[in-house]
A = this chain, B = another copy of it.
Amino acid sequence: MRTVQVELGDRSYPIYIGEGLLERAGELFALHEISRKSKLLIVTDDHIAPHYLALLEDRLQAEGYQTKAHVVPGGEASKSLQVYEEVMTTAIQAGLDRSSTVVALGGGVVGDLAGFVAATYMRGIDFVQIPTTILAHDSSVGGKVAVNHPLAKNMIGAFHQPKLVLYDLNTLLTLPPREVRSGLAEVVKHGLIWDEAFAGWCDEHAAELLALNLPALGYALERGCSIKAQVVSGDERENGQRAILNLGHTIGHALEAVGGYGTLLHGEAISIGMVGSAMLAVGRGKPADILPRTKSLLEKFELPTAIPEGWEDEAILSAMMHDKKFREDQMVFVLPDRIGKVNIVKDMTVAEVKDVLGRLREEKQHV
C-alpha cells in the first residue's frame, strides 16, 4: 500500500493507494476514527454500484458501521442542485447527524457532489473519498467540491477536505478504456508541470498504464497525487501558484463547452489544450523541443492532439473570453518553460491564441 500525505495543517489527510483496499475499508475507517456512533451515507452512481457497493457496505458493516446508500445516475448531469437536494433528503431521512460521515464511492462526479453534501449538511460533516476513476486522483487532492448551475460548471461549491482517501486500484479494472485514457491525461499533466523525470517515466510506461498494469498505475497515481498535493499545500484557496494546475485547461474548457459537454472527455480536451500551450510557449521563445515532446507523450496515451474538424475558432475563442472574462490582450495562460516546469503568463494576445487554434485544427491526428 502506498501513502500520500496531503499537508494542510489541521486539515491534513492521507491518500492510501493499493489493491484490495475496499476489502479493508472498515478497518481503515476505524483506524482513522471515523465515528461508528452515527450513520454513514455512501453516495455512488449506477455504473459503479453494481460492481462495488455491496462489498463496501459489507466491509463497513462487518466493522460495526451503519450505512445508508444513495445511488445517482452516472454522468455529469448528476452534479446538479436537484440531485444535491435529493441526497440531502436521504441524509435527513436516514438520520445523519453532526458526527456522521459522507462517503463518495466513484469518479469525479460523485466525489464533487458528495463532497458538497458533506461540506454543507448541518454546516459541514466528515467526508471520505473512495475514487474509482483515474481522473479522480486529481479531485481527491485539494478539497474542491461543487455542483453545476445550468448556466455554468462548478459554480456552486466549497472547499472541504476529506478525512481520508482510499484508492483501490482493483476498481479501475472495470473502467471504460476511453475513461482510462482521459484520466491518464491528468497524470501526464502533473509530470509536465512539475517533474520532468516523472513525465519521462510516463512516456516509458504508457503501454503498461493503458493496459491497467496495477503496480504501474499505483506508482503513477502516487506521483500524480503527490505533485498535486505539493502544489495545493502552498495555496489551499487558489490565490496564486495553484493556478499552474490549469495547464491546458483554458483551451480545454473552451473545447468542452463548444463541443457540448461529453463530446470530448475532460482529459481529451486538456490534451489538445496542452499541445496548444506548448505551441504558445515556443512562439514566445521557449525551447522548440517542448512541442514535439509534449505531442508525442500524449500520442503514446492515444489522446487527441488536434481540434476536431468543423469546430470554429470564433466559437472557441468566445467561450474562452466568456469563461475567464479575459480582456483582449491580457489572456492568462499556463505555459511550459520546459518539460517539467511551467509559468503563468498574463499578457497573451488574441492574435497569438487565434494563430495556435488554427494550427491545432490542422494538426494531424496520429491515433
Query: Residue-by-residue, is A81-125 near B (CB-CB < 8 Å gives 1, otherwise 0)?
Result: 100010011001101010000000000000000000001111110
* Chain A interface bracket (under 10, 10 to 19, 20 to 34, 35 or more): 20 to 34
**Are A158 and B119 in contact (CB-based, < 8 A)?**
yes
**Are A144 and B157 in contact (CB-based, < 8 A)?**
no
Q: Given that A89-B149, A92-B149, A93-B151 are contacting pairs, would A124 and B325 also be in contact in the complex, using a CB cutoff of 8 Å? A: no
**Are A155 and B122 in contact (CB-based, < 8 A)?**
yes
**Are B123 and A120 in contact (CB-based, < 8 A)?**
no
**Are A92 and B152 in contact (CB-based, < 8 A)?**
yes
Within the assembled complex, what's the spacing in Å between the Cα atoms of A151 and B150? 25
Which residue of chain B is the closest to A146 with respect to CB atoms? B123
**Are B325 and A97 in contact (CB-based, < 8 A)?**
yes
A197 interface contact, C-beta 8 A: no
A156 interface contact, C-beta 8 A: yes
With beta carbons under 8 angstroms apart, the residue of B89, B150, B159 that contacts A123 is B159
Residues of B within 8 A of A157 (CB): 120, 122-123
**Are B119 and A89 in contact (CB-based, < 8 A)?**
no
A135 to chain B, nearest CB (A): 19
Residues of B within 8 A of A156 (CB): 88, 120-121
**Are A92 and B123 in contact (CB-based, < 8 A)?**
no
Which residue of chain B is the closest to A97 with respect to CB atoms? B325
Query: Residue-by-residue, is A150-184 near B (CB-CB < 8 Å gives 1, otherwise 0)?
Result: 11100111110000000000000000000000000
Within the assembled complex, what's the spacing in Å between the Cα atoms of A152 and B96? 12
With beta carbons under 8 angstroms apart, the residue of B85, B124, B155, B158 that contacts A92 is B155
With A85-B149, A121-B156, A123-B158 already in contact, 11 other A-B pairs whose C-beta atoms are closer than 8 Å: A81-B81, A88-B155, A92-B149, A95-B325, A120-B120, A120-B157, A122-B155, A123-B144, A123-B157, A124-B158, A158-B158
List 19 A-B residue pairs with CB atoms under 8 Å apart, sorted by A's residue number: A85-B149, A88-B149, A88-B155, A88-B156, A89-B149, A89-B150, A89-B151, A92-B151, A92-B152, A93-B151, A120-B120, A120-B156, A121-B155, A121-B156, A123-B157, A123-B159, A124-B158, A124-B159, A124-B237
